[in-house]
Amino acid sequence: MLEPMLMAASDSRDYDKAKEITLRIQNVLRPTGHEVRLMQSKNRLFEVAMESGNIDTAIRGFIGEVSKRTRLYLEATSLIAICYLRKKDLKLAKPFMLEALNCENNIKSITRKTEYRVALAKRFDEEALLASLSTDSEPPRLYRRLYFLRGLRG
């Protein structure tokens, strides 16, 4: 019942509502030891924070205690990179971008891994382009750097 409510709050980018629902989910899942499912909800919450402009909150939230071999880690790492791109800080985004690309082996299916790589490179391209368009500081250079990073992984 709570997870669909969280998805609805996510769709409407209502961070306060998402935070309230996530707390309720935590109160249900933590006592039963369902930490992975709880972390999925928290990732959704911090993505809502990112989308609603609470970038610093999102970054702090994505940095969590999950195994580096999981899809949750891969998702959080990718979203941290996107947060830094939105802050127009390629220097801080770059290590997370590379880590997200290097952790593609967290996905077992070859097809899904390929889809992930293409989708992630596209998302990084879009975010960097948006960041470069919204600032006066060297937009072509920012975009060229990201394009180079994309080329590193094919």
pLDDT of residue 154: 44
Length of the chain: 154
Tell me: the pLDDT tens digits for 137-149? 544 455 455 555 5
- 25 close to 18: Cβ distance less than 8 angstroms: no
Give the whole-angstrom CA distance, residue 132 versus residue 10. Answer: 26
Residue 54 has pLDDT above 70, yes or no: yes
Which helix (H) or strand (E) segment is 62 a member of?
Answer: helix 55-62
Q: What is the pTM (predicted TM-score) of this model?
A: 0.80
Give the whole-angstrom CA distance, residue 139 versus residue 150. Answer: 17
AA identity, residue 87: K
Integer CA distances (angstroms), 39 to 31, 46, 108, in order: 14, 10, 20
The H helix count followed by the E strand count for the chain is 8, 0
* Top-confidence residue, 67 or 34: 34
Give the whole-angstrom CA distance, residue 76 versus residue 58. Answer: 10
129 — pLDDT class (breaks 50, 70, 90)? confident
pLDDT of residue 66: 79
